[in-house]
A and B are shown apart, each in its own frame.
Chain A
Amino acid sequence: MSAADARRAAELAARNSYGRLVAYLAVRSHDVAAAEDALGDAFLAALKTWPNRGVPDQPEAWLLVAARRRLLDGARQAKVKTSAAHTLKLITVGAQAEAALEVVFPDERLKLLFICAHPAIDAAIRTPLMLQTVLGFKAAQIASAFLVAPTTISQRLVRAKAKIRDAGIGFELPDAQELPTRLDAVLAAIYAAYSNGWENVAGADPRRKGLAQEAIWLARLCVQLMPDAAEARGLLALMLHCEARRGARRTAQGAYVPLSEQDVGLWSQPLLDEAEHELAQAAKLHQLGRFQLEAAIQSTHAQRALTGRTDWQTLALLYEGLIQQSPTLGALVGHAAAIAEAKGVEPGLALLEALPSEAVSSYQPYWALSAHLLRRLGRQALARQAYTRAIGLAEDPAIRAFLVGQAASAEAGLA
């Protein structure tokens, strides 16, 4: 066997099992950073050993045994008593389970997700922590996706892992009382990863498109591991609805296409079907929440493929419900847009104008909607200002170009 074959086998094992291996080791050693280091060493050992001896029948089990040995070596040298005690537990459990382990080892990724979303961990680092520990993303990839300097993100990740170890954060699933809040944090972090991949449209940066895929994968994992969590299904439905439209969001030339003008024939039917199925399953559980409402909003938009029209009355009601659950700027602006269509431009604009000016001053969607509504009311001077603001705050070049075109046609007095 060549070194290249061994590398390929190790990479395959890494892709399929990185998160499961880290989770298994971390849950037993109570030290995420040490688990990752040990696994890294195990992969290096595999690259050295496999070319000579061949890839083992159970590469994951081989890696796990090698990594655990590393962890034990590390613990023998470690002076910290608590972590040594945990490692002793690892030895005893390990010795009993060694035989069974070669065939199957338990999936502890959900526990790891919950640890990453612990309230003691800074909310801003939770998603990056999940991406690194459960999905094996590198700090540089995470830094690009979240627009943070790579050294900064590395430091924050190291700090978060030290906190997990030193603060003695429990490596068990939270009890029933605490579970809902913690699940919210897990889902919020997954959604943050998705939005990040979603805003980067048309795969301009394939790494960020990958982020959207990984987020869907994490949500599927949550649904699979917690089938009775309605919000997990709601989140999955929401992301699948958005994902279904990916192909329709840009023209072949890369120009931005607003949702209302998208060709419904380009929406992915299998993804829409799966989204609807998840939302229906969630509804049966009778625990309404933010993600189910957001999924219902997307589902209402998706109805246009069948009915040929958008039901703005329903959308306005759903946004009202969403604001009660979770009054984010996005929900408030979405509500104003729905009201503008359902009840008239003026009441829609009034809702926008009622928002605190400090909160919206750098929120691009607010200015884009303002410009659109002001233009429809014929208030040219204000529309012009709002377009300028929306263009200046746009990050996506396709959206910037679209708004520049809108502003120009508004100036020319075109409807």
Chain B
Amino acid sequence: MKYAILVYESETDVSRRTDDEHKATYWGAFQAYSQALADAGVIAGGAALHPSHAATTIRLLNGQRQVQDGPYADTKEQLGGFFVVDVPDLDAALGWAARCPAAADGAVEVRPVLPMVEG
């Protein structure tokens, strides 16, 4: 069964991606984590996202496009990326989510992926 592991990070965490003191640790931890997912044969997709200031949100209101600068929800932690894992059950997915580096500082949400309906 497939689960999305959604990685929410605070602004401090996101800033660690680029500051010289922390970036090696930050990227090292995430690379090691995705490597571990790959080595265990459970990874089924995923992506890292640019910080939320790069986001643009769009809505159609009465057929009119409304474009807003910034993320959909203005929360303390923002979606920083996601992994899709293919594991037997939720417990296994939670086990992998707990190892995600963001689990210690931000938050990690686990959601079952709806299967694609064919035809």
* Residues of chain A at the chain B interface (Cβ within 8 Å): 147-149, 152, 361-362, 387-395, 397, 400-401, 404, 407-408
Contacts and interface: CB of A to CB of B under 8 A. Distances in A.
Contacts of A397: 101, 104-105
Contacts of A148: 90-91, 94
Contacts of B40: 361-362
B32 interface: yes
B90 A407 contact: no
A220 B60 CA distance: 65
In this complex, the member of A147, A388, A391, A401 whose beta carbon has the largest number of chain B beta carbons within 10 angstroms is A391
B99 A388 contact: no
Interface string B60-104: 000000000000000000000000000000110011001101011
Given A362-B36, A400-B101, A404-B25, A388 B31 contact: yes
A389 B98 CA distance: 15
Nearest to A387: B32
A173 B91 CA distance: 33
Contact of A392 (B24, B94, B99, B103): B99
Contacts of B90: 148-149, 152
Interface string B33-66: 1111101100000000000000000000000000
Contact of B95 (A147, A387, A388, A401): A147
A147 B31 CA distance: 23
Given A148-B91, A395-B98, A404-B28, 7 more contacts: A149-B94, A152-B90, A391-B32, A392-B33, A392-B36, A394-B99, A397-B101
20 contacts: A147-B98, A148-B90, A152-B91, A361-B40, A362-B40, A387-B32, A388-B31, A388-B35, A389-B36, A390-B32, A391-B29, A391-B32, A392-B29, A392-B34, A392-B35, A392-B36, A393-B36, A395-B99, A404-B28, A408-B24
A394 B99 CA distance: 6
Given A361-B40, A362-B36, A393 B25 contact: no
